[in-house]
Amino acid sequence: MAVRISTAEEYEALLRDYDTWLFDCDGVLWRGDHSIEGVIQVLDMLRRRNKKVIFVTNNATKSRQTLLSKFEQLGVQAHADEVYGSAYAAAVYVSSVLKMPKTKKAYVIGMAGLEEELRSEGIAFLGGTDLADNTLESFDLGTWKRDPDVGAVICGLDTKINYTKLSKAFQYLLNDPECHFIETNEDSTYPSAHGLLPGAGSISAPLRCAIQRAPVICGKPSTTMLDSIQAKVHFDPKRTIMVGDRLNTDIQFGQNGGLSTLLVLTGITSEADITGPNASPIVPDFVTQSLGDLRAADKAP
Amino acid sequence: MAVRISTAEEYEALLRDYDTWLFDCDGVLWRGDHSIEGVIQVLDMLRRRNKKVIFVTNNATKSRQTLLSKFEQLGVQAHADEVYGSAYAAAVYVSSVLKMPKTKKAYVIGMAGLEEELRSEGIAFLGGTDLADNTLESFDLGTWKRDPDVGAVICGLDTKINYTKLSKAFQYLLNDPECHFIETNEDSTYPSAHGLLPGAGSISAPLRCAIQRAPVICGKPSTTMLDSIQAKVHFDPKRTIMVGDRLNTDIQFGQNGGLSTLLVLTGITSEADITGPNASPIVPDFVTQSLGDLRAADKAP
């Protein structure tokens, strides 16, 4: 059962026990275009106490630079090396975990943010925003030539998904069992400004279906995301806590990685999801209403 | 265990026991652009003996009229009311099994052949080949208006698949639990002239993933295909045999519908798939090398 925390002493104990703090963004730091009350002060407090702060998001259409501008817009202090999007995690996975040779290329289903992160990690790629592949013209397998240097297919949310991209990615995976199959994240939907739309997991579903092979998933709740963070940052899982608003991504992610977990109720998960007869089997270590509540720690004796 | 048949008497017994003969096309009647030896004579013989002949294909991009021209090209006699493609099966399912009111519409992910069959069954539709939906422009949920009359989403192979079509289909299914979700067939790949490409099952995979709801499948091996045939033709399953070259579609389809089954080895399935340690668990009633073998029945005493 999750421990409800609400007193200054309890928040202070949390700050004492954990050196590294991982945060989901949407629903934890902000909602839409507004930062959640008290969050800016809590982050300031953590930095004042020399805590390591890392932001972990499954958004794969934005590079860290673009994500940073969202932080800036909302007045939330963050540095590029503290932000892990699933596009960056995919790029780091290929460069630092797989250590794919620099002579190899990736075939990309995805958008500019994913390309930017691949470039930053020195990974050559085809597809993506290339105009030649962003077409509804017929795809002719008879005249197309496979690039023998493609060693990975990387698939993220791509709102210009089409049959040419799917067919090329499929051919690379079909003809080379060694070709890596990587998904930025498996979120089946994503919350657009006006409602739910198909997410990265749905965009890669045709490939999973056609190739009948499971991809490596780089976003939460996969531990691949944590492997990518660990490739860049050193932290002790025992003294690390993941703060999130979603049980099946954030909290599961923390638990998969052996971290402690703190659920906040400012996002997707409501009181009903964690209590009562239909409560989720995923139980966080701690629950508090809002990340802003942690301000109270400063009032502890 | 499947019965191997090879003598004139065995073929004659088959002709005596079954009044209705269902045939898969590719791999049974023809391969590529050539009809399989003896097939034309066997079909003539069946018609001479007053057998009912029905052609059942999962191809959902072609209407019956277009499929007929393929028959004609190869010199195989067939009539429009003998041909069941999965596009037609989907249209018949909506009109004759679901009996969707004529005031309702379908939202279509699919091509001209599917539209032609929907028109022939008097089903109004949106999407499909409509130029407005065949675009790689951004889809804005905020400015789009759902049509309240859409009562079904029908998804087939669509080589102009894009985010706008997927998003609209998703919205119809998300916002109306009563909206029917129909797939022409679940083939994950299809054999193009130059090799495998993603099939109808892969094209609808994003919707299945995003909506987390199982569609009704109209192609083989689903019994929905048989329901559609039965809505138009009367036959006794006990005196009906399905002839096909694929175990997991054709033979499974026959077995699901309580029909007898005959496997031919002129297509996908090879000897190794039905004998030896890795044989499929799907076992046809009868096996013969080729549909053309049935010519021998005329030589039975």
Domain residue limits at B255? 3-58+222-299
The residue in chain B having the minimum alpha-carbon distance to the alpha carbon of residue A158 is: B163
Which chain B residues contact residue A212 at CB under 8 A? 188
CA–CA separation, A58 and A54 (whole Å): 13
- Known catalytic residues of A are 24, 26
> Taking an 8 Å Cβ-Cβ cutoff, which residues of chain A contact chain B?
134-136, 138-142, 158-163, 166-167, 170-171, 174, 188-189, 192-199, 201-203, 205-210, 212
B4, burial (CB in 10 Å: exposed 0-12, middle 13-18, buried 19+): exposed
Q: How confident is the model at residue B275, as a pLDDT?
A: 87
Does a structural domain hold residue A90?
Answer: no
H or E segment and range at residue A35: strand A34-35
Q: Is residue A261 part of a domain?
A: yes
pLDDT of B1 reads 75
User: Is A94 part of any domain?
Assistant: no
B106 with B170, same domain: the answer is yes
Compare all CA atoms of chain A with the CA of B186 and give the residue at the minimum distance. A209
**Helical residues (DSSP H) of A56-131, grouped into ranges:** 64-73, 86-92, 112-120
Check whether residue A200 and residue A229 sit in a common domain. Answer: no
Last residue of a domain, one of B201, B217, B233: B217
ipTM of the complex: 0.90
- The radius of gyration of chain B's CA atoms, rounded to the nearest angstrom, is 20
CATH number at residue B23: 3.40.50.1000
Residue B247 is given by DSSP the state I
Instruction: Show pLDDT as tens, one digit a residue, over chain B (301 residues).
Output: 789 999 999 999 999 999 999 999 999 999 878 899 999 999 999 999 999 999 999 988 889 988 899 999 988 889 989 999 999 999 999 999 999 999 999 999 999 999 999 999 999 999 999 999 999 999 999 999 999 999 999 999 999 999 999 999 999 999 999 999 999 999 999 888 788 999 999 999 999 999 999 999 999 999 999 998 998 899 999 999 999 999 999 999 999 999 999 999 999 898 888 987 888 999 999 999 999 999 999 887 7
Tell me the residue type at A97.
V
* Angle between helical axes of B112-120 and B64-73 (0-180°, round to 10): 110
Write the DSSP symbol of residue B138.
P
Return d(Cα A114, Cα B17) in angstroms, integer: 62
Of B158, B196, B199, Cβ closest to residue A174: B196
The whole-number pLDDT of residue B141 equals 94
B21, B254 contact by CB (below 8 A)? no
pLDDT at residue A116 tops 90: yes
**Phi and psi at residue B217, in whole multiples of 5°?**
-105, 130
Decide which of A177, A199, A217 is a domain's last residue.
A217
What does the block give as tokens for A106?
A: 């990736």
Does one domain contain both A105 and A208?
yes
Name the residue of chain B whose CA is nearest to A135's CA: B136
- Which residue did the predictor score with more confidence, B193 or A159? A159
Are residues A248 and A139 part of one domain?
no
Structure confidence at residue B32 (pLDDT)? 79
Specify the DSSP element, H or E, that contains A155.
Answer: strand A150-155
Domain shared by A253 and A191, yes or no: no
Same domain, B150 and B194: yes
Residue A266 CA: distances (Å) to CA of A11, A263, A297: 17, 9, 19
Q: With a cut of 90, say whether residue A132 has pLDDT above it.
A: yes
Residues A192 and A241 in one domain: no
Residue B74, in any domain of the structure: no
B101 vs A62, more confident: B101
Say whether both A186 and A248 belong to one domain: no
One-letter amino acid at B185 equals N
- The region of weakest confidence among A103-112, A159-168, B95-104, B223-232 is B223-232
Q: Which residues of B are annotated as a binding site for Mg(2+)?
A: 24, 26, 245
> How far is the C-alpha of B60 from the C-alpha of B159, rounded, in Å?
12
pLDDT at B211: 96
Q: Is residue B47 part of a domain?
A: yes
Closest by Cβ to A197, choosing from B170, B194, B208: B170
Question: In this structure, is residue A36 part of a structural domain?
Answer: yes
**For residue B187, which of B147, B157, B213, B225 has the smallest C-alpha distance?**
B157
Structure tokens at B292: 């053309």
Assess whether B178 and B119 both reside in one domain: yes
Q: Is A78 part of any domain?
A: no
Task: Give the pLDDT confidence of A69-85 residue by residue, as tens digits.
Answer: 999 998 888 998 999 99
How many domains are contained in chain A? 2
The residue written with tokens 């299809």 in the block is B190
Q: What is the CA radius of gyration of chain A?
A: 20
Residues B40 and B139 in one domain: no
DSSP string, A198-266: E-HHHHTHHHHHHHT-PPEE-STTSHHHHHHHHTT----GGGEEEEES-IIIIIHHHHHTT-EEEEESS
* pLDDT tens sequence across A176-224: 999 999 999 999 998 887 889 999 999 999 999 999 999 999 999 999 9
Please check whether residue A257 is in contact with residue A223, taking contact to mean a CB–CB distance below 8 angstroms.
yes
Residues B113 and B140 grouped into a single domain:
yes
Q: What is the pLDDT of residue A261?
A: 98
Contact A244, A250 (CB under 8 A): yes
Contact A197, A190 (CB under 8 A): yes
- Domain ends where: A217, A239, A257? A217
Residue B75 within a domain: no
Give dist(CA A27, CA A58) in Å, integer. 13
Give the CA count within 13 Å in the CB-facing half-sphere of B146: 19
Residues of B with a known catalytic role: 24, 26
Q: Which amino acid is at B298?
A: D
Nearest to A159 among B138, B159, B160 (CB): B138
Neighbouring-strand partners of residue B126? B107
pLDDT reading at A53 higher than 90: yes
A180 close to A98: Cβ distance less than 8 angstroms: yes
Strands of B105-109's sheet, edge to edge? B124-127, B105-109, B150-155, B180-183, B216-217
Judge if A127 and A166 occupy the same domain.
Answer: yes
pLDDT value at residue A47: 96
